[in-house]
Amino acid sequence: FFIVGAIAPVCVMAQSEESPKAAPSMHDALLAALARSADLPSQGEAISGGWLTGPPSLAVSYLASNKNQGTDETEISLNLPVKSPRQRRNDAVLLKAEPGQQAAYDRYRAWYLSGVLRELHSDFAIAEAQIPLMERKAAILTRVRQQLQQRIAAGSAERFDLIALQRAGLDVNESLAELYRRRDNAREQFTDLTGFQRFPPVESPPVPPGLDYENHPQLQWLALNYERDLADARSSSPDTVPWNVAIVGRELDSPTLLEHQVGIAVEMPLQFGGRTRSTQTQSLLRSLHRDFLRQRDQLRQDLRRQWNNEQAALHALRERQLLAESLFDSDDLNSLLNTTRDSNELPIEIKVSRLNSLLQSAAEESLLVARIAATEERLRQLCGELL
């Protein structure tokens, strides 16, 4: 998934799936994941809206005369780096955009975590759909092996067939162990993210008809980051150089006079020719604009490509589902399985191959349901929908 804050006050963590009040949903799981993965300083450092660009500084100087009747001078100044009018306007833009930035970040983060939870649920559901097939296959191979051992003992079968059957059993056990691992890993990762011990049911609203680029969380986050980068770049223009305001105290000490002076000094940049931005700043602004357009177009192309691929995959799965419903009858499949399992005439390799084919057909419906649901969830994720 594309590669993110609290969206709302979250008290889901105290409500587990064992709560008698209401069964949790995947939306509750999302809120719990957001709460558990939130940064401790959720807001970070606030943007300053004050008048100073940095801390004040204190300067002290003492000048001693080299003349016997000369004047010694002591000066103390408090220097204040004051924001220029342009810098204050830039800060106002940033302050105004900050709530939108935070909201966009929250939505992007929720969308990203929605994709992670969707993927974990899909991995779990597909493994769960395949495990009964492998367990049934292992049980059937065990029974066939027992039958074969009896025939070998009676002298009506060769030991080579038993070796081939044992190898098939090892392959099935290995596949079954891998499915258990995938299922348990998905569940453990889901628990780590949400605190829930089990997957809640997934609601299945209709898949959106197409991509909505304007409201996509990732594209919105990209656009707002671009605006933020522009504001930061504009802050480097010459007319944003701070003004320096100094409060000065001076003492003039001579044999005939002791004089104290207090005053103020202001240092501000001057601009000539009406040019307010340096060539470097203008080049940076153009570069940011080009980079934004490139990233936006690339992201749109990636979304469209993935959308088309997933749509094609969903269409193929639905066509296969319709074909499977018309071809396979559960009673016939079970009858064929029993006949093939108990047959003593078939060579062992053909028997194992036929059993595999029949078992795959028997598990086709449940596996297709899980794969279709996973594809639909990927389409909802591509559209920018949250759980």
Structure tokens at 374: 């996973």
Helix/strand/coil for 68: coil
pTM: 0.74
Question: What integer pLDDT is reported at residue 205 of this predicted model?
Answer: 83
The pLDDT tens digits along the chain (387 residues) read: 433 333 333 333 334 444 445 678 899 999 999 998 876 444 444 555 577 777 888 999 988 888 887 888 999 999 988 887 777 877 777 777 777 788 888 899 999 999 999 999 999 999 999 998 889 888 888 888 887 788 777 776 677 778 887 888 888 899 999 999 999 999 999 999 999 999 998 887 888 888 989 899 999 999 988 888 887 777 766 667 788 888 888 888 888 888 888 999 888 777 665 555 567 777 888 888 999 999 999 999 999 999 999 999 999 999 998 888 777 666 666 777 777 776 766 777 777 778 777 777 777 888 999 999 999 999 999 999 998
How far, in Å, CA of 58 to CA of 79, rounded?
A: 6
* Per-residue confidence (pLDDT) for residue 49, from 0 to 100: 59
Whether residue 79 contacts residue 59, with contact meaning beta carbons closer than 8 Å, is answered with yes
The pLDDT score that the predictor gives to residue 40 is 44
Report pLDDT for 238.
65
pLDDT given at position 6 = 35
End-to-end CA distance of the chain: 14
Q: Mind giving me the DSSP string for 1-40?
A: ------SS---GGG--TT-SS----HHHHHHHHHHHT--S
Show Cβ contacts of residue 175 under 8 Å, excluding neighbours closer than 6 positions.
Answer: 134
CB 112 within 8 A of CB 384: no
State residue 11's pLDDT score: 36
Euclidean distance between CA atoms 371 and 319, whole angstroms: 13
Q: Could you tell me which of 113, 128, 129, 127 has the C-alpha nearest to residue 26?
A: 113
Which of 287, 129, 91, 122 is closest to 199 using CA atoms? 122
What are the helix (H) ranges across the chain? 26-36, 85-154, 159-194, 217-234, 279-327, 330-342, 348-382
123-146 per-residue burial string, b: 16 or more CB within 10 A, e: under 16: bbbbbbbbbebbebbbebbeebbe
Q: What is the pLDDT of residue 229?
A: 84
Closest residue by Cα to residue 324 from 296, 294, 267, 363: 363
Task: Give the β-pairing of 243-254 and 57-63.
Answer: unpaired
Handedness of CA 111, 116, 119, 120 (dihedral sign): negative
The contacts of residue 194 (CB under 8 Å, 6+ apart) are 29, 30, 32, 33, 36, 117
CA distances (Å), origin 162, targets 147, 165, 280, 352: 10, 5, 79, 12
pLDDT of residue 230: 83
Calpha distance 97→231 (Å, rounded): 10
Handedness of CA 26, 319, 329, 367 (dihedral sign): negative
Q: Provide φ and ψ at 188, rounded to 5°.
A: -65, -40
Q: In this predicted structure, what is the pLDDT of residue 141? A: 84
Closest Cα to residue 355, out of 187, 171, 216? 171
Stated length of the chain: 387
